[in-house]
Amino acid sequence: MNQEIFDLIFGRIKELKYQCYPFLPKEGTSYPFVVVGETQLLPRITKSFSIGEMSVFVHVWTDKQSRKKCQDMMSEITEACSQFTSPHRWILLEGNSRIIADNSTNDTLWHGVLDLRYKFY
């Protein structure tokens, strides 16, 4: 289940034409870019199939002049990833977001963090 939703989200972000990575790219990568990051699985096993919830964190980085772009990208990603129907059904329950200033490089950046929480069955 973990890899399934990761791949679905990653593919959908690529369809939006954003640079998307499974980990932080090498230094010098142009902004903006997206990283599909951590996941948390909360399964409930039944006799016949699996159901449960999963949280997936998606990170968006833009340069310091592009705070609005960061917000717009997060909104577009949330909308595009609101539902998946194959191979399992994934319904977005919550899409929490925050934007923080990031000074981990020589340039100040905007770092958007999405917490997408899904129900699956």
Residue 70's pLDDT is what? 98
Residue 46's pLDDT is what? 83
Q: Are 34 and 58 in contact (CB under 8 A)?
A: yes
Q: Count CB neighbours of 7 within 10 A.
A: 13
Percent of the chain with pLDDT over 70: 100
Nearest to 30 by CA among 22, 38, 18: 18
pLDDT single digits (tens) 14-71:
999 999 999 999 988 999 999 999 999 998 888 877 889 999 999 999 999 999 999 9
Q: Are 112 and 97 in contact (CB under 8 A)?
A: yes
Tell me the domains of the chain and their CATH numbers: 2-120 (3.30.2000.30)
Which pTM value belongs to this model? 0.92
Residue 73's pLDDT is what? 98
